[in-house]
């Protein structure tokens, strides 16, 4: 298959997945706990969020809990993402193998924003300010059976909307969500070259309702259910990993993710990825991400840059991981 044919096929896949100029799905943004969609780990994000199949480090806790059993030793990670409009996203996680075939992990994802102005009419001065806090505590377990792994996680979700300087003016909701996944690693992966694949069902649950001081109380929100399937090829002899994920969210169109990483030296990697999630509303460049990482024997530092297309905005994501 020549290069021209490959380019044409890739273009057709992107156009069919989520064509630029297509109408935005009428269900977009209608589900609750949207912060659960924010990807974690600068390594995965730099590769276009292609990680359901790769899932080989502590960040599998979020992307596919079945991959935790592929983790090499104990790992502790922390990441920070600077979004726009004062939104901050922090993630921390710890994972540890149990014997040769099992592993567990715990973590937390925390999203905050504040200083938002609220008005009930056309006024120069805001009636009041408000902010939001979103937290998900995660616990996961994974077990390996030869080339296959299975795993599951539970998430305790909290969403709070606080009104500044107004006593009792806030709203809060709590709920539970579950993920369940499978993972496959061909025999050659153990020796540095082979196929990785995974599938995960994310955010299974009944949803939750808000409590607060007025009619907003009792408003119900469904969880952002998603099915994710991924495949990757890893070749550490040639120092690269490439992969693709398919997402089937309940509140949007099917979308594709492509990405990979290449180790220029044993210590330094470059990454790039592309996703079709936002092409319909934010344009072609909104699918682009790039990243880099320093990977020492016991320590890793990763960075990712993500574009938001026609908004003329981009985000920075940083991760630090310790390995024991």
Domain boundary assignment for the chain = 28-260
In percent, the amount of the chain with pLDDT more than 70 equals 83
Of 1 and 111, the one with more pLDDT: 111
60: helix, strand or coil? helix
Q: Taking residues 111-118, what's their average pLDDT?
A: 82
Q: Regarding the domain with residue range 28-260, which homologous superfamily does it belong to in the CATH classification?
A: Outer membrane protein transport protein (OMPP1/FadL/TodX) (2.40.160.60)
Q: Taking residues 47-67, what's their average pLDDT?
A: 96
What is the predicted pLDDT for the residue at 312? Answer: 67
CA distance 45 to 314: 13
Of 308 and 176, the one with more pLDDT: 176
**Between the CA atoms of 162, 164, 166 and 171, what dihedral angle is there, to the nearest 10 degrees?**
-10
What is the predicted pLDDT for the residue at 65? Answer: 98
**What are 269-305's pLDDT values in tens digits?**
999 999 887 655 656 667 889 999 999 889 999 999 9
Choose the weakest-confidence range: 102-106, 195-199, 217-221.
217-221
The beta strand positions in the chain, using DSSP E, are 75-82, 88-98, 102-118, 128-145, 148-163, 171-185, 193-204, 208-209, 220-221, 226-235, 240-249, 255-263, 268-275, 288-295, 299-307, 314-323
290: helix, strand or coil? strand
Residue 45 CA to its chain's centroid (Å): 7
What is the predicted pLDDT for the residue at 86? Answer: 78
User: What residues pair up with 79 in beta bridges, in sequence order?
Assistant: 91, 319
Q: Taking residues 42-62, what's their average pLDDT?
A: 96
How wide is the angle at C-alpha 243 spanned by C-alphas 240 and 249, nearest 5°?
155
Is residue 165 scored above 90 in pLDDT?
no
CA distance 37 to 155: 13
What are the distances in angstroms from CA 132 to CA 33, 125, 282?
12, 21, 25
Of 217 and 133, the one with more pLDDT: 133
Environment class of 132 (CB within 10 Å of its CB; exposed 0-12, middle 13-18, buried 19+): middle
What is the predicted pLDDT for the residue at 42? Answer: 96
Tokens of 124: 């120069």
Length of the chain: 324
322: helix, strand or coil? strand
What is the predicted pLDDT for the residue at 282? Answer: 59
What is the predicted pLDDT for the residue at 36? Answer: 93
Look over the chain and give the mean of its residue pLDDT values, rounded to a whole number: 85
What is the predicted pLDDT for the residue at 7? Answer: 37
């Amino acid at each position: 298959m020549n290069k021209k044919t490959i380019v044409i096929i890739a273009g057709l896949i992107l156009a069919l997945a989520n064509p630029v100029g297509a109408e935005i799905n009428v269900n977009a943004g209608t589900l609750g706990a949207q912060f659960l969609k924010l990807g974690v780990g600068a390594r995965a994000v730099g590769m276009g969020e292609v990680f359901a199949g790769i899932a080989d480090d502590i960040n599998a806790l979020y992307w596919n809990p079945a991959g935790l059993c592929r983790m090499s030793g104990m790992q502790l990670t922390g990441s920070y993402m600077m979004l726009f409009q004062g939104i901050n996203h922090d993630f921390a996680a710890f994972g540890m193998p149990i014997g040769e075939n099992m592993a567990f992990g715990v973590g937390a994802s925390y999203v905050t924003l504040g200083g938002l102005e609220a008005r009930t009419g056309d006024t120069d001065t805001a009636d009041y300010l408000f902010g939001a806090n979103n937290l998900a505590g995660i616990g996961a377990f994974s077990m390996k059976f030869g080339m296959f792994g299975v795993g599951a996680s539970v998430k305790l979700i909290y969403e709070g909307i606080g009104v500044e300087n107004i006593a009792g003016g806030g709203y809060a909701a709590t709920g539970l969500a579950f993920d369940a996944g499978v993972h496959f690693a061909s025999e050659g992966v153990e020796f540095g070259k082979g196929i990785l694949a995974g599938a995960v069902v994310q955010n299974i649950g009944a949803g939750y309702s808000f409590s607060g001081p007025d009619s907003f109380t009792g408003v119900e929100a469904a969880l952002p259910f998603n099915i994710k399937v991924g495949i990757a090829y890893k070749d550490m002899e040639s120092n690269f990993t490439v992969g693709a994920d398919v997402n089937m969210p309940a509140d949007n169109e099917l979308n594709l993710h492509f990405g990979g990483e290449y180790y220029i030296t044993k210590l330094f990697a470059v990454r790039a990825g592309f996703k079709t999630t936002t092409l319909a509303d934010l344009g072609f460049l909104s699918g682009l991400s790039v990243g880099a990482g320093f990977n020492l024997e016991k320590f890793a530092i990763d960075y990712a840059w993500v574009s938001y297309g026609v908004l003329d905005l981009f985000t920075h994501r940083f991760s630090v991981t310790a390995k024991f």
